[in-house]
Structure 1
Amino acid sequence: MSIGSALREQRPSPPIDESVFENASLVFRTAHTFAAPPDRVWSILDGDRMFEWLPFPGIGVRYDSAERGVGVVREMGSVTPPFRGLWIQREEFWSHEHAKRISYGAISGTWIYVLLVRHYAEEMTLAGTADGGTDLVWTVAVTPRLPLRVGTLPIFAPIWRAIYRVSLRGPMRRRLAEKH
């Protein structure tokens, strides 16, 4: 086995389910309002270009198939060259309610993911607003491995929230402004 293939090899995460939102060492939420209907916001959250806007080359998602729904698995992380495989976590969907709710948890990852993270999950809920927009609540649950768990102390929660808020709000608004 070459070094490259060893680095890209998927290693299983400890078992995970939706109880992670109650039991993770850090659970936080960010709330966003977008001037677009839930169907349009959903098309981005559940699309093939999700997370491409993150400030790292090659970041995005790659689905195993065109199917979407509960039980579907996708890759998230450095899914395209030249950094393919540097950080990839495979995520399995627990809920998939069109334009309403999506949740998933990491079931495996490359060596760097497994070295740093024990559990990771996300849930996004969407609700239409009276003016035709969308309220989105993004919940993240993470339990890093020791010694990184110090970063989940309550004093760090506002920092995590701010990072996730910034990583979604502006990029989603720009994506929603694009013609589709």
Structure 2
Amino acid sequence: MTRWYPLEPADADFLASAPHVFRYEKLFAAPPEKVWESLTSDESLAAWGPSIRSVTWTSPRPFGVGTTRDVVAPGGATMRERYFRWDDGRNHSFYVYESTLPAFKRFAEDYLIEPDGDQTRFTWVVAIEPKNAVALPVKIMAPLLKAGFGRIPAGGVGYFAKT
């Protein structure tokens, strides 16, 4: 039986104030509508490359504030996410409310899509507060975590270059 660990809720303020905030900006060779369509598709980020194994939306469409989904990482860790912001076609943010990985006190992400000529500027923020027991290891490994998370938007660059 899978063991789930609860996390504390997070909000927009946490995206700037968390102990670890990783920010990525990438240009995608696609219009904003196509990027948004990909983010809210059944595969979502899992279609961009191997950095996400699967995404399962657990709320019915249409999506909005309160929408939930499960995301499985390559190692099998699963995060249950709840959206607290949803500006259709432009921006959405969620926090993880439960995970099979017992490392986090709070975890949130923000996705922003903006037109940039005939491309899309994709800005992604990952905000993490580790549990006290792993705070020092997470601090030491923060550059590796940032690089690892960075593979996701880099995968988006390749994905949209091919579609």
Name the CA shift for 1:166/1:18 in 2 (closer, same or farther; >3 Å).
same
Distance (whole Å) between structure 2 residues aligned to residue 143 and residue 159 of structure 1: 16
1:119 and 2:114 equivalent?
A: no
Aligned counterpart, 2:152: 167
1:73 and 2:73 equivalent?
A: no
Name the CA shift for 1:31/1:151 in 2 (closer, same or farther; >3 Å).
farther
From 20, 23, 32, the counterpart of 1:26: 20
Aligned counterpart, 2:79: 89
Matched residue type, 2:98: S
- Please tell me the root mean square deviation across aligned C-alpha atoms, in Å: 2.5
Unaligned stretches of 5+ in structure 1? none
| 1:92-135 deviation digits (Å, cap 9, x = unpaired) | 0111222211110001122xx2x2111110001111012x1000
Work out the percentage of aligned pairs sharing the same amino acid: 24
Unaligned stretches of 5+ in structure 2? none
Distance (whole Å) between structure 1 residues aligned to residue 78 and residue 143 of structure 2: 26
| 1:9-36 deviation digits (Å, cap 9, x = unpaired) | 4342123322221332101201100111
More relative contact order, 1 or 2 (CA 8 Å, 6+ apart): 2
1:54 and 2:50 equivalent?
A: yes
Aligned-partner SS, 1:167: helix
Question: TM-score normalized by structure 1?
Answer: 0.76
Instruction: Identify the range of structure 1 (116-125 vs 40-49) with the bigger mean alpha-carbon deviation.
Output: 40-49
How many Å apart are 1:151 and its aligned residue? 4.5
Question: TM-score normalized by structure 2?
Answer: 0.83
Q: Larger Rg: 1 or 2?
A: 1
CA contact (8 A) 1:118 1:144 kept: yes
Structure 1 residue ranges (4+ consecutive) displaced by more than 4 angstroms after TM superposition: 155-158
CA contact (8 A) 2:67 2:83 kept: yes
